């Protein structure tokens, strides 16, 4: 478990993305709160969208690392 977590942590190199993922898993912040902290958005809708974008970027990196993307060829494989 610890090794897999370390692998995921190294995959998500951006500290803000990692912190946002941890907050979502620990249920200490919602998407709007995460977006407010990231971009300083004042409107709830904008903050929510920013939070979704930050989490999506982190999850996309994880999906690419573990080969779970919808790309025909993995990015680390030459065509």
Q: What pLDDT, in 10s, does the model give residues 41-50?
A: 889 999 999 9
Cβ–Cβ < 8 Å for 64, 58 = no
pTM score: 0.79
Q: How far apart are the C-alpha atoms of 23 and 49, rounded to whole Å?
A: 16
Q: Give yes or no for residue 33 having a pLDDT over 80.
A: yes
Cβ–Cβ < 8 Å for 26, 9 = no
HSE of 42 in the Cβ direction (CA atoms, 13 Å)? Answer: 0
Q: Considering the chain, what is the average pLDDT of its residues?
A: 87
């Amino acid at each position: 478990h610890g090794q897999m977590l370390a692998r995921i942590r190294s995959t998500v190199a951006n500290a803000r993305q990692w912190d946002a993922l941890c907050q979502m898993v620990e249920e200490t912040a919602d998407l709007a709160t995460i977006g407010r902290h990231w971009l300083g958005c004042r409107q709830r809708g904008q903050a929510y969208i920013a939070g979704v974008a930050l989490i999506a970027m982190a999850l996309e990196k994880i999906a690419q690392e573990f080969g779970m993307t919808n790309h025909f060829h993995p990015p680390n494989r030459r065509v």
